[in-house]
């Protein structure tokens, strides 16, 4: 049984560009959450999707948007990238509101 | 608002000795509490959780945690540390008000186990 998978593993972008990160949840899970982990920090909650709708949102600007597909996979989009967006982006999946299982993350570097 | 504090950036312990990684929390109502471990260039791995019941929770790899409601603490413990336990440990809390299961993490504690 595959766990949570994320793509790509690493990504390098320049300021002002747009990026899309992808996540496939653990089999049987229907809820996907996204977190940003800056270097030396704990993960910060971005938002959560359930039934293709954004259910909760953290304190992130509108440049951060997402989507959940009917197969429960999800995308995180970030527009107008800033240097401060450089971080490890973690996807976590769960069944409804049970415990979350994390993917390996996507390392985004903004130059 | 919910929050988690991990007061120690780093904990050093000799292999075979007991270890404790500290965590305190603030949340409205009864909390769900979690410990996760992160190895270099990896995602987070779930160790254990407290929802209700016994204050001593047992988890993966011999780890356990003690929930103390009066002190709002959830310290991670292991009776005998291994070098392979060296990693970054995160405490997290989920409040029970409102929908969703958003986690709020602490800043992490680097555990270093030496021979």
- Spell out which residues of chain A touch residue B99, defining contact as CB-CB under 8 Å: 55-56, 97
Q: How far is A55 from chain B (nearest CA, A)?
A: 7
Amino acid A30: pLDDT: 93
Sequential DSSP letters for chain A: ----EEE-SEEEE-TT--EEEEEEPPTT--EEEEEEE-TTS--EEEEEEETTEEEEE-S--TTEEEEE-TTS-EEEEE-S--GGG-EEEEEEEESTTS--EE---EEEEE-
Q: Determine, for residues A101 and B46 on separate chains, whether the beta-carbon distance falls below 8 Å.
A: yes
Q: Determine, for residues B44 and A102 on separate chains, whether the beta-carbon distance falls below 8 Å.
A: yes
d(CA B24, CA A59): 22
Nearest to B100 among A35, A55, A104 (CB): A55
Q: Does B96 score more than 80 pLDDT?
A: no
**pLDDT tens digits for range B1-20:** 889 999 999 999 999 999 99
Q: Does B90 score more than 90 pLDDT?
A: yes
Amino acid B1: pLDDT: 80
Please, which pLDDT band fits residue A103 given cuts at 50, 70 and 90?
very high
Strands (E), chain B: 3-5, 10-14, 19-21, 24-26, 32-38, 44-50, 56-58, 64-68, 73-78, 87-94, 104-105, 109-114
Residue of B nearest to A97 (CA): B101
Q: Does B112 score more than 70 pLDDT?
A: yes
């Amino acid at each position: 049984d595959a766990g949570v998978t994320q793509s790509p593993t690493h990504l390098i972008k320049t300021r002002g560009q747009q990026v899309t990160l992808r996540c496939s949840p653990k089999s049987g899970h229907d809820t996907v959450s996204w977190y940003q982990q800056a270097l030396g920090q704990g993960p910060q909650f971005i938002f959560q999707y359930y039934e293709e709708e954004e259910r909760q949102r953290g304190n992130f600007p509108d440049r951060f948007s997402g989507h959940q597909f009917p197969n429960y996979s999800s995308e995180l989009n970030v527009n107008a990238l800033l240097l401060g967006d450089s971080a490890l982006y973690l996807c976590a999946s769960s069944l409804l509101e049970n415990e979350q299982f994390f993917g390996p993350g996507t390392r985004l570097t903004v130059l | 608002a919910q929050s988690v504090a991990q007061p120690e950036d780093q904990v050093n312990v000799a292999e075979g000795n007991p270890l404790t990684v500290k965590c305190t929390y603030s949340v409205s109502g009864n909390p769900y509490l979690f410990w996760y471990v992160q190895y270099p260039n990896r995602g987070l791995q779930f160790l254990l959780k407290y929802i209700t019941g016994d204050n001593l929770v047992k988890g993966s790899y011999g780890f356990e945690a003690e929930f103390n409601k009066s002190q709002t603490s959830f310290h991670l413990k292991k009776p005998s540390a291994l070098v392979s336990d060296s990693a970054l440990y995160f405490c997290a809390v989920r409040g029970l008000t409102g929908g969703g299961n958003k986690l709020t993490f602490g800043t992490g504690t680097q555990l270093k186990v030496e021979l």
